[in-house]
Structure 1
Amino acid sequence: MLAAAVAGGLCVPLLAWPSSAAGSDGVRVAEIQGDTRLSPLVGERVTGVTGVVTGVRAFGSRGFWIQDPVGDGNPATSEGLFVYTGEAPTVAVGDAVEVAGTVGEYYPGGAERGGQSVTQLTGPEVTVVSSGNELPAPVELTGDTLPRRYAPAGEEAAGGSIEGLPLNPRRHVLDLYESLEGMAVSVADAPVVGPSTAYGELWVTLRPQDHPTPRGGTRYASYEAHNPGRLKVESLIPFAERPFPEANVGDLLGGRTTGPLDYDEFGGYTLAARELGEVVDGGLERESTRPQRRGELAVAAYNVENLNPGDPAEKFERLATAVVDNLAAPDILAVEEIQDDSGPTDDGTVSAGETLRLFTEAVVAAGGPAYEWRGIDPVDGADGGQPGGNIRTVLLFNPERVSFVDRPGGDATTATEVVARRGEATLSHSPGRIAPDDAAWTDSRKPLVGEFTFRGETVLVVANHFASKGGDQPTHGRFQPPNRSSERQRVAQARAVADFVRETRDARGVRRPANVVVLGDLNDFTFSATAEALTADGLLENALNSLPARERYTYVFDGQSQVLDQTLVSPAIRRYELDIVHINAEFADQASDHDPQVLRFRP
């Protein structure tokens, strides 16, 4: 063994390179990687590149990783490199190889997405010099050795890109990971903060003390709180040889997990495990909320993730059971992502009556009430979402507990207005849509508002599903801070909803404060400009702020527990109780990817 080199403050024991494999005129891996994110040799054909194979990927982006066991002693230059073969590699872990190939920078998903690139060799010519060699010792990643800062600020002259900046692995986590790109790394006994998926991936954290949730997750608390301890884990082991383990938030990836550090379009830096630890069950259980009391009105929101008649009966049953058992059969239920009766088949169908029949009948079969529903069919293809699906929001209600006030005339393109009746804010059309012709709703779901009566009191419920975050630059990408371009549309949507709510207060003839609930999948955070547009000037109060900060999350993305679904109330609703019911987002086995929430109050 040679003396250990230091990479970003981490001790990296190095192996002696077999003398027979060293190319006298070859290019070293570190020379290819360089000390920035882009190779100084990009586009050049290089020869005599030597290394030990530390990982082989026979699926997806096929190829293998090599690592120089000697290194150049510079913590900013990686000693690992991916060799893209395009077909199943013929080398094995432990082979000492000499490679010739063209240096390239590959952007997973395309450069336009804003992610970082992977330095690699393409069109390789590979010579196996020897086999069964000792592998370079992996860099041990621990919370104590990770920088607390996430990313450097991008260069203004480069449009905010960090690609041309020298790496500073002691200062920023993204720099550290880039300085280890392609090298073998390992984690030990790492808490799971993002559940496993059907794609064979999960998220761990090396810093569980950063913004912890009560159930073992890591919370996204602000645009600056990127929780740098997070790391994605995938497996290089074919599923046929070892199925990827099922893991929930709060579990532990026990033992040691080792493999090359890769970069992925979905999630960024990824430990591609050639050795995968064992999942230790953390005992996470699904929550149930309490039933509403006699004088309480319970209003809930639930994104049911593209529900349509083509889904298996099990999905309808699980969603329905959750409504009855976990949500305690709320009086009013705003559901998002109800698809039309032909699902994703793009055949011009817009009616969702069959979808809703199956869902409400499943609720009855689960022991719940016979919900009625009100909704408005969209114009075909005008509301975004999965092509052909025509997703929309729908209001379900229990007629034994609450009455719906039907006022005909609302349709996909007609706006409902606030009308004063006996001094109360009511609707011109119920159900109705809010400003459907406003440009804010282009290719996006339009809010559905309904007028209800509960124990003699009028309650207006606005069900929302704002525009998605599609098109935003990733937090782990090469632009820092990332551009949140989709936010502009959601802010415009929030202002349109706010204008409507303002009319329930200021419309001519309105003398009584209105009971207004605005809820649903806003696709944005409580600290976002979207939320601020709804709460400006005290127009609405965000009910999530009534919860302890560590409990505010409805979704898990890239290992971060975060808010996407929100519930807001007008000042007339003075006392209320909000419960986020964690039944999906933290679990590998999900009926939906969102957690529902229930608001209880006395109008």
Structure 2
Amino acid sequence: MPSSVAPRTAAFAAVVAAALAAGLLAGSSAASADAASAAEVRIHDIQGSSRISPLAGQQVTQVPGVVTGVRTFGSKGFWLQDPEADANPATSEGVFVFTGSAPTVAVGDKVLVSGTVTEYVPGGTSSGNQSLTEISKPVVTVVSSGNELPAPVTVSAWSVPSAYAPAGDAAAGSSINDLPLNPGKYALDYYESLEGTNVRIGTSRVVGATDPFAELWVTVKPFENPNRRGGAVYGSYTAQNTGRLQIQSLTPLAQKPFPKANVGDVLAGTTEGPLDFNQFGGYTITARTLGTVTDRGLERESTREQRRGELAVATYNVENLDPSDPQAKFDALAAAVVNNLASPDILALEEIQDDNGAKNDGTVAAGETLKKFTAAIEAAGGPAYEWRTIDPENNKDGGEPGGNIRQVFLFNPERVSFTDRPGGDSKTATGVVQERGRAALTLSPGRIDPANAAWANSRKPLAGEFTFRGRTVFVIANHFGSKGGDEGLTSHHQPPVRSSETKRLEQAQAVNAFVKDILKADRRADVLVLGDINDFEFSQTTKALTDGGALYPAVKSLPRSERYSYVYQGNSQVLDQILTSPSIDDFAYDSVHINAEFSDQNSDHDPQVLRFRP
């Protein structure tokens, strides 16, 4: 199960307690806890009108409510809701009671709960996540059973505000924790005002396919940044798609399998249950009643075949491919290259692992991986691709320990030739020289500036010199640093901290400088920079790549609604890119959607293809 439902530990409880003491999860003074006697405390008093309970760290006694949901796996406990709501829309009437072991209560039980009010931060305080107000170390008394549940709050396109979140308090490090909730103005405040409350949604479109952890994403806003395939496009830092909600089930998988859904499918009927907050997704309906998935028949795309005078160049992240993977994965990826990508002339691959995958024994060569993959392509009816790559130093390029992922060029020798300039290795930088008025690489294949600190524990760009119909084309394959460590959109910091951008910005500047060296030697040189850039077309990373007009992000040639290669938490977004030098001013670009929108994936990325006439 994902760590969003992982059991709490005593050690983490100590972290949270320390955070409270340090003011990272600020609560009000103890005087607020003394303002009401224990017998008078209701759930809305515990929740308060901001994100942090005014009673955090305090004992409460005999808090009344009705059980609206029970979780017997992962983070075990139950949700308690007061049927007697107050008049304040900012105060939730529901709360999670963390038991730590399988709860002995049932839905519909009327109970009294005594325990400690705590603020649990899924993922720890360093994650930036908001906290979940809950009652821990509970003593539970069942008063009666079989009671009617509090009527669910309907979450809909009309109830969720269009603005996502307030700006964080600068005096509190941009945190929104202590700001009063304004559920009529901000989506995050609206969801927080319903934390732990029994909610329901009606028929909603799926915008994030079912994942291996039995979760999917829907939107309650049908007209919010849609694309023609059913997704919700993340087109800027302020287009967070406020209607997105994660859906999980309270029914254990052993009792009832979670439905498989693709983007564009419909979760029909009523989905109802308590609104939770977890590490990987934030606000989540933990469904007591789950709607039915209606298949809308989403199909995998295929790009057209390149014409005789067109050079087709593609990039594809094949997600940690190594010889121990099932033959079925090799065959599926190979079929995609042939049938969906129309056998591009040059194919840059990311995440090719070494010959024994994640076994951490010093192996760095990937010849067996590439033999197996190219053989599968040929068996699928594709060309007999040749390859060029440079093996990394052991465990110096990040990724799965022992896997030694790297970029690789595949090319069809019947259509294009590779200019081999020997001497390239993991530590030696390729450079640019001028030969007869034209640019040339000193090493091909070669790595760009591998000693630069920007590439520490990250993949180094692979540069290669190709010839197509007598014209030289420079291709630079990249796999920039991941977004690991960035705070999520639901962070208590607004805007969220995106710490990983620093490294990608430096990487982009290094690649941009190299492209400028090529263009200085030959301003008409055809240069393609491509790969898993791990950043958006509107990001500072992309702006740094394009600095000085050296490159153009070809994905911007597509309509805004079609710009995506990845789906994360229900947001369809750009991570994979192909950028072109100024001489490549007439091209056809295609983001070929074959993976990211589907529950059945061969990779989590969609490949990109660009065709042009050099």
TM-score of Structure 1 vs Structure 2, range by shorter chain: over 0.9
Secondary structure at the residue paired with 2:317? strand
Secondary structure at the residue paired with 1:226? coil
* Separation of aligned partners in 2, 1:198 and 1:126: 34
> Does 2:381 match 1:381?
no
1:544-555 to structure 2, matched below 5 A, reads: 544-555=555-566
Q: By how many angstroms is 1:537 displaced?
A: 2.1
1:251-400 to structure 2, matched below 5 A, reads: 251-400=265-414
Q: By how many angstroms is 1:421 displaced?
A: 1.6
User: Which of 516, 522, 525 is matched with 1:514 structurally?
Assistant: 525
> Does 2:55 match 1:41?
yes
* Separation of aligned partners in 2, 1:405 and 1:143: 56
Alignment CA distance shift 1:36-1:402 (3 Å)? same
> Does 2:527 match 1:527?
no
> Does 2:103 match 1:89?
yes
Structure 2 counterpart of 1:19: none
> Does 2:230 match 1:219?
no
* Separation of aligned partners in 1, 2:128 and 2:325: 34
> Does 2:164 match 1:150?
yes
> Does 2:66 match 1:52?
yes
Q: Deviations over 1:359-382 (max 9, x none)?
A: 111101111111111000111111
User: Which of 467, 474, 478 is matched with 2:481 structurally?
Assistant: 467
* Separation of aligned partners in 1, 2:585 and 2:490: 41
Q: By how many angstroms is 1:422 displaced?
A: 1.8
Q: By how many angstroms is 1:49 displaced?
A: 0.7
Contact 1:54–1:93 (CA<8 Å) still a contact in 2? yes
Contact 1:154–1:160 (CA<8 Å) still a contact in 2? yes
Q: By how many angstroms is 1:535 displaced?
A: 1.3
2:84 aligned partner, one-letter code: V
Structure 1 counterpart of 2:78: 64
Structure 2 counterpart of 1:10: none
* Separation of aligned partners in 2, 1:167 and 1:349: 54
2:336 aligned partner, one-letter code: A
> Does 2:584 match 1:570?
no
Contact 1:346–1:387 (CA<8 Å) still a contact in 2? yes
* Separation of aligned partners in 2, 1:177 and 1:540: 41
Q: By how many angstroms is 1:135 displaced?
A: 0.4
Structure 1 counterpart of 2:221: 207
Q: By how many angstroms is 1:42 displaced?
A: 1.0
* Separation of aligned partners in 2, 1:208 and 1:399: 47
* Separation of aligned partners in 2, 1:201 and 1:74: 32
Q: By how many angstroms is 1:97 displaced?
A: 0.7
* Separation of aligned partners in 2, 1:126 and 1:70: 19
Secondary structure at the residue paired with 1:420? strand
Contact 2:38–2:60 (CA<8 Å) still a contact in 1? no
Contact 2:225–2:233 (CA<8 Å) still a contact in 1? yes
Secondary structure at the residue paired with 2:546? helix
Q: Deviations over 1:449-473 (max 9, x none)?
A: 1111111111110000000111111
Of the structure 1 ranges 588-597 and 68-77, higher mean CA displacement relative to structure 2 is found in: 68-77
* Separation of aligned partners in 2, 1:543 and 1:76: 45
Q: By how many angstroms is 1:396 displaced?
A: 0.5
* Separation of aligned partners in 2, 1:423 and 1:89: 77
Q: Where does the alignment leave 5 or more consecutive residues of structure 2 unmatched?
A: 1-36
Q: By how many angstroms is 1:24 displaced?
A: 8.8
User: Which of 190, 196, 214 is matched with 2:210 structurally?
Assistant: 196
Q: By how many angstroms is 1:574 displaced?
A: 2.2
Structure 2 counterpart of 1:8: none
* Separation of aligned partners in 2, 1:473 and 1:231: 18
Percentage of identical aligned residues: 64
* Separation of aligned partners in 2, 1:27 and 1:133: 21
- TM-score between both structures, scaled by the size of structure 2: 0.93
2:443 aligned partner, one-letter code: H
1:534 aligned partner, one-letter code: L
Contact 1:235–1:272 (CA<8 Å) still a contact in 2? yes
Q: By how many angstroms is 1:536 displaced?
A: 2.0
Q: By how many angstroms is 1:214 displaced?
A: 1.2
Contact 1:63–1:84 (CA<8 Å) still a contact in 2? yes
Secondary structure at the residue paired with 1:65? strand
Q: Deviations over 1:229-278 (max 9, x none)?
A: 11111111111221100000000000000000000101110000000000
Secondary structure at the residue paired with 1:25? helix
Structure 2 counterpart of 1:235: 249
1:593 aligned partner, one-letter code: D
Q: By how many angstroms is 1:26 displaced?
A: 4.5
Q: By how many angstroms is 1:483 displaced?
A: 1.3
Contact 1:26–1:50 (CA<8 Å) still a contact in 2? no
1:421 aligned partner, one-letter code: E
User: Which of 457, 480, 494 is matched with 2:508 structurally?
Assistant: 494
* Separation of aligned partners in 2, 1:176 and 1:296: 52
Alignment CA distance shift 1:602-1:24 (3 Å)? closer
* Separation of aligned partners in 2, 1:26 and 1:311: 60
Q: By how many angstroms is 1:140 displaced?
A: 0.4
Contact 1:36–1:167 (CA<8 Å) still a contact in 2? yes
1:424 aligned partner, one-letter code: R
* Separation of aligned partners in 2, 1:76 and 1:549: 36
- TM-score between both structures, scaled by the size of structure 1: 0.95
Q: By how many angstroms is 1:210 displaced?
A: 1.1
> Does 2:605 match 1:594?
yes
Secondary structure at the residue paired with 1:516? strand
Contact 2:38–2:61 (CA<8 Å) still a contact in 1? no
Q: Where does the alignment leave 5 or more consecutive residues of structure 1 unmatched?
A: 1-22
Q: By how many angstroms is 1:30 displaced?
A: 0.8
User: Which of 93, 105, 108 is matched with 1:79 structurally?
Assistant: 93
Structure 2 counterpart of 1:247: 261
Structure 2 counterpart of 1:537: 548
> Does 2:191 match 1:180?
no
Contact 2:127–2:485 (CA<8 Å) still a contact in 1? yes
User: Which of 437, 462, 465 is matched with 1:423 structurally?
Assistant: 437
1:373 aligned partner, one-letter code: W
Secondary structure at the residue paired with 1:497? helix
1:388 aligned partner, one-letter code: G
Structure 2 counterpart of 1:123: 137
Secondary structure at the residue paired with 1:301? strand
Secondary structure at the residue paired with 1:490? helix
Contact 2:39–2:63 (CA<8 Å) still a contact in 1? no
User: Which of 575, 579, 582 is matched with 2:593 structurally?
Assistant: 582
* Separation of aligned partners in 2, 1:551 and 1:529: 21
* Separation of aligned partners in 1, 2:251 and 2:597: 25
Superposition RMSD in Å: 1.0
Structure 1 counterpart of 2:460: 446
* Separation of aligned partners in 2, 1:551 and 1:24: 56
Structure 2 counterpart of 1:137: 151
2:301 aligned partner, one-letter code: E
User: Which of 95, 99, 104 is matched with 2:113 structurally?
Assistant: 99
